[in-house]
Chain A
Amino acid sequence: MSHGLPPFQRFLDCHREVVWRFLLSTVGPVEAEDCFQETFVSALRAYPRLREDSNLRAWVLTIAHRKALDVHRGRARRAIPVAEVAAVDERAAPSPPDRDQALWDAVGELPARQRSAVVLRFVGDLPHSDIAAAIGCSEDAARRSLHEGLSKLRKVVPA
C-alpha cells in the first residue's frame, strides 16, 4: 500500500501538459491523442504500486516515451508508400511558432533515442539520470544521445 501518493487526478492535472507536449514533439499531433490515453491508462493501472518517493514526472514521461516508441516501431513496420512519406513527416512535427518550425522538424528527424533525450531534457526538464531511466540506458549513454542530438540540431539553427 502506498499512502503518500497524491490522488491520481491531481497527478494527471499536474503532468498532463508536459506529457502532451512530449508526445506532440515525438509522435506528432495525430498520434499524440492515442499515446496520451495509453500513457495515462498504463500509469493508472500501475499507480498504487508506485513508491511514494518516486519522481512522478520522470515516471510518466518514461511511460510516454515507451508509448511513443511503439508508435515509431508501428510506423517502421508498415510499408509506407512513397506518396505518404511527406504526410508522415508532417505528423512528426509539433505545432510551435513558425520561427521554430525548422528546428522541430529537425527534432522529428532525429533517431528515436536522440529525439527522446532531447525532448525529455527540454520539454520534460529532466536531469540526465532520469532521461537514462526513461530511455533505459546508462547515464553516460543518455548524455551522449543528448549531445549527438543537439549537435545535429545546431546545424539547423546555427549559433
Chain B
Amino acid sequence: MRTDALNETGSVEDALRRSLRPGREDSARAEPTARREGDHAAAAAARRLSARVAAEGLADVSYTSADSPFGTLLLASTRRGLVRLAFPEEDVDSVLDGLAGRISPRIVETPAPLDPVRRELDEYFSGGRHEFALKLDWALIAGFGRRVLRVTSEIPYGGVLSYGEVAAEAGSPRGSRAAGNALGSNPIPIVIPCHRVLRSGGTLGGYGGGVERKRWLLELEGAVAPERRL
C-alpha cells in the first residue's frame, strides 16, 4: 500500500480521477461519450503519427497486413528491403517480438513502405507476375541457410530442384537435411521460393506454410499439374 494514497481520497481527487483517467474499471461513473471520443482522438493521432513515420523514414521496421489467397499475410520491411513474410497462422505478436529482438524495436505499423510488396504479391497470385523485383533484407538468414536460400532464390518460376541439388549448389552435397531445415525456416516464403524445392523422388516434401499451400503454389506456376496430385 502506497502512503501516497493517504491524502488523496478527497472530492477533488475523485473528480480528477473520474473525469480524465483512461481505462479505469469503475468508469461507470465517468462520461462514456467523452471517454470514447478521447480514444478515437488518440487513435487518430496515432495513425497520423504512423503516416509521418513512414514519410520521414523514422522506423527501422515497417509492417502491414496483406490479403492473399492464403488469408491475411504479415509483411515487414527494413530500409534495405522485405525482411519477413508471415502466414496467417503465425502469431503476430510473436513475429513482431522476434523482429524487435533480432533487428530493432523501432517497429511501426505503416502500410506505405510495403505498397510495392503488396502489389507484386497480388500480381503473382493472379498469375500475372513470374518474378519478383523486390529488394530483400537477408538479415534474418545466416550461415548455410543463407547459401541455401540464395540458391533457392535463383530457381525460376515453373522450375523445381530437389533438396539434394540445392544442398550441393550451396556447397554441401550431403547436406540435404540441413537444407530442408533452412528452407523450413525461410523468413520470406513465396518471395524466396522455397516451395520450388521437392524431394528427389518427386514427392512434395514439407513446407513451412503447410504442404497444401506448396501444392497450390506449384500448380499456380505450372510446375505440378493438378491431375498429378500425389
Enumerate chain A interface residues (CB-CB to B < 8 A): 2-10, 12-13, 16-21, 24-25, 32-33, 36-37, 40-41, 44-45, 47-48, 94-97, 100, 103-104, 107, 118, 121-123, 125, 127-128, 147, 150, 153-154, 156-159
Contact = CB atoms under 8 A, between A and B. Distances in A.
Given A97-B34, A159-B10, A159-B11, A41 B49 contact: yes
B16 interface: yes
Size range of the chain B interface in the assembly: 35 or more
B166 to A, nearest CB: 32
Interface in B21-59: 21-23, 30-31, 34, 37-39, 41-43, 45-46, 48-49, 52-53, 58-59
Contacts of A159: 10-12
Interface of B: 2, 4, 7-8, 10-13, 15-23, 30-31, 34, 37-39, 41-43, 45-46, 48-49, 52-53, 58-61, 63, 93, 96-97, 99-101, 104-109
User: Which A-B residue pairs are the 3 nearest by beta carbons?
Assistant: A20-B42, A122-B16, A97-B31
A32 B214 CA distance: 50
Contact of A6 (B7, B15, B19, B100): B100
Q: Is the interface of B mostly helix, strand, loop or mixed?
A: helix
B15 A21 contact: no
A97 B19 contact: yes
A21 B52 CA distance: 21
Contacts, number: 136
Nearest to A122: B16
Contacts of B100: 3, 5-7
B97 A7 contact: yes
Given A17-B42, A47-B106, 15 more contacts: A3-B101, A5-B100, A7-B61, A7-B96, A9-B107, A16-B42, A16-B43, A21-B42, A36-B45, A37-B48, A41-B53, A48-B104, A104-B19, A128-B4, A156-B12
B106 A154 contact: no
B45 to A, nearest CB: 5
A157 B20 contact: no
Contacts of B11: 157-159
Contacts of A40: 46, 49
Given A41-B58, A97-B31, A13 B21 contact: no
B45 A37 contact: yes
A20 B108 CA distance: 19
A97 B23 CA distance: 16
Given A3-B101, A21-B38, A154 B109 contact: no
A46 B58 CA distance: 11
A151 to B, nearest CB: 9
A135 B128 CA distance: 59
Contact of B107 (A7, A36, A153): A7
A19 to B, nearest CB: 8
Contact of A36 (B21, B49, B53, B61): B49
B109 A9 contact: yes
